[in-house]
Amino acid sequence: MIERSASNHDLLVLLKIWLEPKTGICRCETRLDGKVALVTGGNSGIGLETARDLAKRGARVIIASRNTAKSEQAVTDIIATTGNKNVEYRSLNLCKFSSVINFADDFNKTVNRLDILVNNAGCVWMPHRTSDDGIDLVMQTNHLGPFLLTNLLMDKLISSKPSRIVIVSSYLHNFGRLDLDDIAGINTAFNRRLLGNYLKYANSKLSNVLWMKALAKRLPNGVTVNALHPGVVTTDIYEWIPSYVRKILNILMDLIFKNAKEGAQTTIHLCVCEELTGFTGGYYKDCKLHPYHKICDDVDFVDMFWDKCILLTSRKQN
């Protein structure tokens, strides 16, 4: 029985290696002493491992999340495992523009620089709900909240340059079908269908890549933005999925896909790789440039998308 179990385990390990190769490890030894890094959703999953790695390199790391208890535990964990005591938590709820605005106001007043902004927080599955701002919660959490946050922190990024913006997207952005007249995701016909939840996620991640392309054209020299697919990762991002589905997914994903530390490698690479200094507008997978949805190279579409996002977020500040 023991031999059979060991054999089965070996087969599962081989299957995992075949399905999700352990490539794309960030091997950069860059130090970040004196730098400030902000990681949204840095209290779990790849966000936590990203924050841990940046702290290990000497950065002051600020975790931004809506879950206070989990975030405080993450801070304690990072300090214990890295020896860097310059790690803190600040409350941020991307589902509410008022929270984003308050967070940015406080950050700009109390933090003297921002060298690395990691837009990592997100969700996959969420029952169709509209935020207080009149936007589908998936789109607001995954795109429009981070979009507004980044714009509000832009002056800090510019004054701290060279600085980097990193956007965690997904390969599933390739399946997005974005309607420029409904970026808010309110009138989309598939809102209440099971498959629609995944299409909404794909649209939010396509929005990430479109945003990256639009922002890259508009940033001044010294501030860069790049996006990435982390791989299929076992993280808490699936917390909105029904528990019976999540249990099955957890079993499969633990056996087959990347763990959080492995999934964080491309994010870390975009944060610290010295060879990427000054490089902007790229989409990465496994620490290498990777193809993306062709619509993201449509200059007119990208510009119209940018204008729509500005309109949706600017009116919330008035």
Active site residue 201: yes
Joined tokens for residue 144: 């429009």
Active-site residue (options: 89, 171, 201, 292): 201
Answer whether 65's CB lies under 8 Å from 37's CB: no
Distances from the Cα of 42 to the Cα of 26, 63, 158, 165, angstroms: 18, 5, 23, 15
Annotated active-site positions, please?
201
